């Protein structure tokens, strides 16, 4: 808690520290979830943000999902600010304890600082500060905090159902996703404030071949394991067609003045030079390649449980990230055509289409202008998100869904997400709080 005369920056940092220290690790298996930690988090949030809890109406969704309603001067164009309170498990060796929330060398260290408690506390601190000043937003503001984002849980789905039930049609929704990213692209010096307009669709398939099984001493050619292997190799050799979608074209156009001199004309004319740009992205490595197409990764494999038994069933799990422009149906057709084997059964385990592309109209311009105000050196730009967020469910009730967390992040920091040594700069966090505050203040009547 802040002492008299102490700047409010340390107040916000202390709140983030307190909430990072609570290990809200989610798990697909409810029996493995530390429910007490989630209870403690919800309690601590109320302690840290008393005015917010006194003023805003809270609806609990799912086990620990939180939906706050802040009535504005108008309910006509409501705004939804999202974050999630769960984190992924701790892996690897950390320089500072993963649930310590230590401030060292100007950074707050710990699981969740970037993903996604930084945003959650940033939003709450912005609201708390505005409430203390007696501020009323021009439009209704809803805060939707999920409790199982990291395990594709249902709290965001239930929050959407609750809003729909109340007849709320958000003007725009803002969730995690992009950031004020430095070293975003080789040779680009300026930080890029990337705002996700769409995200790839996560879909998983299981390829399965059944056979006779039997003793390993008398194998027949092209048994289940060989067929599965052939299918995998065929899939690996025949990726789906690449393309550069419109948000990526606009990203390059906006980066052009800041790009490496020889590439500036290519960036600036990205729309006209689309095939050239697509080929360059494909050649530049797996990350940029994933920006241009639907990707397939064979992640799980199984055959016989014993060394001397021929597999009666062989299975391969395929995790697919569907690019905007392709559909689950396109993917299934591609897999069947490329594998070209009737004996390989294809089952859909999980199905998600890519999200619709949000428009770059007044709401996008509001985010852009707020980035310009708080991060004057950064270039705001749209992009296609590779990972999935809870906000995809909000596309059911809202056509403007944006993915952006207002924090400066280096490449090393972005790599620490879901890995070890996750940390957020103290100054970056304070700027982020200010960004959320300015965003709310700027919501037009
Ligand atoms: Zn997240």
* pLDDT tens-digit map of 325-335: 999 999 999 99
**What H or E segment, with its residue span, contains residue 369?**
helix 362-374
Instruction: Report yes or no: 200 and 353 within 8 Å, Cβ to Cβ.
Output: no
- What's the gap in Å between 176 CA and the centre of ligand 1? 6
Of the candidates 13, 195, 8, 7, the residue with the CA atom closest to the CA atom of residue 117: 13
Q: What residues contact residue 48 under an 8 Å CB cut-off, 6+ apart?
A: 15, 18, 19, 121, 124
Examine the pLDDT at 7 and tell me if it is beyond 60: no
Could you give the residue ranges of the DSSP H alpha helices within 60-181?
A: 117-132, 155-165
Query: DSSP for 378-409?
Result: -EEEEEEESS--GGGGGGGT-S-EEEEEEEEE
- What's the gap in Å between 271 CA and the centre of ligand 1? 32
The mean pLDDT value for 342-356 works out to 96
- What's the gap in Å between 150 CA and the centre of ligand 1? 7
Residues tagged active-site: 86, 149
Examine the pLDDT at 241 and tell me if it is beyond 80: yes
pLDDT in tens, 201-213: 999 999 999 999 9
DSSP letter at 183 equals T
Residue 121's alpha-carbon distances to 116, 128, 193, 428, in angstroms, are 9, 10, 20, 13
Angle formed by the axes of helices 362-374 and 426-442, to 10°?
Answer: 140
Residue 288: pLDDT band with limits 50, 70, 90: confident
Interatomic CA distance for residues 295 and 334, integer angstroms: 12
- What's the gap in Å between 119 CA and the centre of ligand 1? 10
Instruction: Enumerate the β-bridge partners of residue 83.
Output: 145
Give the pLDDT confidence score for residue 3 in this predicted structure: 45
- What's the gap in Å between 340 CA and the centre of ligand 1? 38
- What's the gap in Å between 114 CA and the centre of ligand 1? 8
- What's the gap in Å between 177 CA and the centre of ligand 1? 8
**Which pTM was predicted?**
0.92
Give the pLDDT confidence score for residue 1 in this predicted structure: 43
Instruction: Report yes or no: 382 and 360 within 8 Å, Cβ to Cβ.
Output: yes
**What H or E segment, with its residue span, contains residue 48?**
helix 35-48
- What's the gap in Å between 332 CA and the centre of ligand 1? 28
Give the pLDDT confidence score for residue 353 in this predicted structure: 96
pLDDT in tens, 117-136: 999 999 999 999 999 999 99
The share of the chain scoring above pLDDT 70, in percent, equals: 98
Residue 187: pLDDT band with limits 50, 70, 90: confident
Instruction: Enumerate the β-bridge partners of residue 70.
Output: 141
Residue 8: pLDDT band with limits 50, 70, 90: low
Among 24-33, 84-93, 229-238, 281-290, name the one with the lowest average pLDDT. Answer: 281-290
- What's the gap in Å between 83 CA and the centre of ligand 1? 8
Examine the pLDDT at 5 and tell me if it is beyond 50: no
Examine the pLDDT at 261 and tell me if it is beyond 80: yes
DSSP letter at 148 equals -
CB-CB neighbours of 62 under 10 Å: 17
- What's the gap in Å between 27 CA and the centre of ligand 1? 14
Examine the pLDDT at 271 and tell me if it is beyond 50: yes
Give the pair of three-digit tokens for residue 251: 């990203």
Give the pLDDT confidence score for residue 184 in this predicted structure: 84
- Residues found in the chain: 445
- What's the gap in Å between 175 CA and the centre of ligand 1? 9
The mean pLDDT value for 284-289 works out to 87
pLDDT in tens, 141-155: 999 999 999 998 899
- What's the gap in Å between 397 CA and the centre of ligand 1? 21
The mean pLDDT value for 278-303 works out to 92
The share of the chain scoring above pLDDT 90, in percent, equals: 92
Examine the pLDDT at 116 and tell me if it is beyond 80: yes
- What's the gap in Å between 133 CA and the centre of ligand 1? 30
The mean pLDDT value for 297-304 works out to 96
pLDDT in tens, 352-411: 999 999 999 999 999 999 999 999 999 999 999 999 999 999 999 999 999 999 999 999
Examine the pLDDT at 297 and tell me if it is beyond 70: yes
Interatomic CA distance for residues 432 and 415, integer angstroms: 19
The mean pLDDT value for 239-244 works out to 95
Instruction: Report yes or no: 345 and 208 within 8 Å, Cβ to Cβ.
Output: yes
Helix (H, G, I), strand (E, B) or coil at 410: coil
Residue 48: pLDDT band with limits 50, 70, 90: very high
- What's the gap in Å between 388 CA and the centre of ligand 1? 9
- What's the gap in Å between 420 CA and the centre of ligand 1? 15
């Amino acid at each position: 808690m802040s002492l008299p005369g102490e700047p409010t920056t340390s107040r916000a940092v202390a709140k983030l520290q307190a909430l990072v220290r609570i290990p809200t690790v989610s798990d697909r298996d409810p029996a493995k979830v530390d429910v007490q930690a989630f209870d403690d988090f919800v309690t601590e949030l109320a302690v840290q943000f008393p005015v917010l809890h006194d003023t805003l109406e809270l609806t609990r969704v799912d086990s620990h999902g939180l939906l706050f309603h802040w009535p504005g001067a108008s309910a006509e164009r409501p705004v939804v600010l999202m974050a999630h309170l769960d984190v992924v498990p701790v892996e690897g060796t950390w320089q500072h304890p993963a649930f310590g929330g230590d401030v060292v060398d100007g950074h707050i260290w710990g699981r969740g600082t970037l993903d996604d408690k930084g945003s959650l506390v940033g939003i709450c601190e912005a609201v708390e500060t505005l409430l203390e000043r007696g501020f009323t937003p021009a439009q209704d503001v809803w805060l939707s905090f999920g409790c199982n984002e990291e395990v594709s849980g249902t709290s965001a789905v239930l929050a959407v159902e609750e809003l729909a039930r109340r007849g709320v049609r958000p003007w725009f929704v803002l969730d995690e996703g992009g950031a004020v990213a430095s070293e975003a692209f080789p040779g680009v010096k300026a930080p890029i404030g990337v705002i996700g307009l769409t995200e790839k669709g996560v879909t998983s398939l299981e390829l399965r071949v059944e056979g006779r099984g039997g003793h390993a001493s008398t194998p027949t050619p092209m048994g289940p394991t060989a067929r599965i292997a052939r299918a995998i190799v065929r899939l690996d050799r025949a990726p789906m067609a690449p393309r550069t979608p419109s948000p990526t074209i606009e990203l390059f156009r906006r980066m052009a003045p800041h790009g490496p001199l020889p590439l500036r004309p290519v960036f600036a004319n990205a729309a006209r030079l689309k095939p050239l740009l697509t080929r360059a992205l494909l050649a530049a490595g797996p990350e940029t390649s994933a920006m241009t197409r639907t990707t397939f990764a064979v992640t799980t494999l199984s055959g016989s449980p014993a060394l001397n038994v021929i597999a009666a069933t062989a299975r391969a799990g395929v995790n697919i990230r569907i690019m905007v422009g392709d559909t689950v149906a396109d993917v299934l057709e591609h897999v069947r055509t490329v594998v070209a084997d009737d004996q390989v059964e294809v089952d859909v385990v999980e199905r998600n289409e890519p999200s619709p592309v949000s428009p770059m109209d007044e709401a996008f311009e509001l985010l852009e202008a707020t980035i310009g105000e708080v991060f004057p050196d950064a270039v705001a730009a749209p992009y296609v998100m590779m990972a999935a967020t809870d906000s995809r469910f909000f596309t059911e009730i809202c056509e403007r869904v944006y993915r952006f967390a207002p924090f400066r992040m280096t490449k090393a920091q972005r790599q620490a997400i879901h890995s070890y040594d996750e940390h957020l700069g103290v100054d970056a966090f304070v700027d982020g709080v200010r960004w959320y505050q300015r965003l709310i203040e700027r919501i037009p009547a």
